[in-house]
Amino acid sequence: MHEVTGMPGFSRRGILKAFAASAVVAAPNYANAAGFLRGGGDIRRLRMYSGRTGERLDMIYWIDGEYIKDSVKEIHHFMRDWRTDQIKSIDLRTLDIMAAAHNLMDVNEPYMLLSGYRSPQTNAMLRSRSRGVAKNSLHMKGQAADLRLNSRSVNQMAKAALACHAGGVGRYSRSDFVHMDCGPVRSWGA
């Protein structure tokens, strides 16, 4: 994991203050703003865990307008297809939507990652078991994530993701998760 406190010129408290101050302002265009607040102390962070692998991630992946290559690489690995152990680069816009929505909900709880990247084999298997799996799912392109929070409802999570105006948001209330992707802006589900 990337330790913030070991970085020269950054204190943990200073980074968190900058992040909290910019998160709400940044959220509506988070995924579409290349270089948002360049030099202004912008920090983006993802906190997740996987019940499938037992892995946890707490990662700052963007500071002052720059993605941190090693952090992003670790996120790609975390969001791999756990069934096949295949890794695909996750679209940075999806990471930004996830981070922005998380900040809008003002929670410390990490996301539970249900599905990030899906290999074509995994997608076909899931599709054979459920009508809710798209044939050309954005999961196969590394552009989507299915997420859950115990402390927020599906509707609360979906509203936060929709406030980003940056991609697709699916409500899966019966299965208790929200789909977020960086595709066209749209929403579905109840």
For residue 28, the 8-state DSSP code is: G
Q: What is the pLDDT of residue 130?
A: 81
Distance between CA atoms of residues 150 and 176, nearest Å: 9
Residue 19 phi, psi (nearest 5): -65, -50
Three-state DSSP state, 45? strand
Q: What is the pLDDT of residue 16?
A: 45
- Say what the alpha-carbon torsion angle 129, 151, 101, 14 is, to the nearest 10 degrees: -140
Residues 6+ apart with CB under 8 A from 110: 47, 48, 49, 56, 57, 58
Domain holding 61, by residue range, is 4-189
Residue with tokens 């680069």: 89
Counting Cβ atoms within 10 Å, is residue 151 exposed (0-12), middle (13-18) or buried (19+)? exposed
Q: What is the pLDDT of residue 186?
A: 95
Q: What is the pLDDT of residue 71?
A: 97
Q: What is the pLDDT along the chain (190 residues), one digit of tens a residue?
A: 444 434 444 444 444 444 444 443 344 444 443 333 333 358 999 999 998 999 999 999 999 889 999 999 999 999 999 999 999 999 999 999 999 999 999 999 999 999 999 999 998 888 888 877 888 899 999 999 999 999 999 999 999 999 999 999 999 999 999 999 999 999 999 8
Structure tokens at 186: 């749209």
* Under 8 Å between Cβ of 88 and 125: no
Q: What is the pLDDT of residue 104?
A: 94
* Under 8 Å between Cβ of 15 and 59: no
Long-range contacts of 62-69 (CB under 8 A, 24+ apart): 62/96, 63/10, 63/15, 64/38, 64/39, 64/40, 65/35, 65/36, 65/37, 65/38, 65/39, 67/92, 68/2
Structure tokens at 181: 């992707």
Q: What is the pLDDT of residue 30?
A: 42
| Number of structural domains in the chain | 1
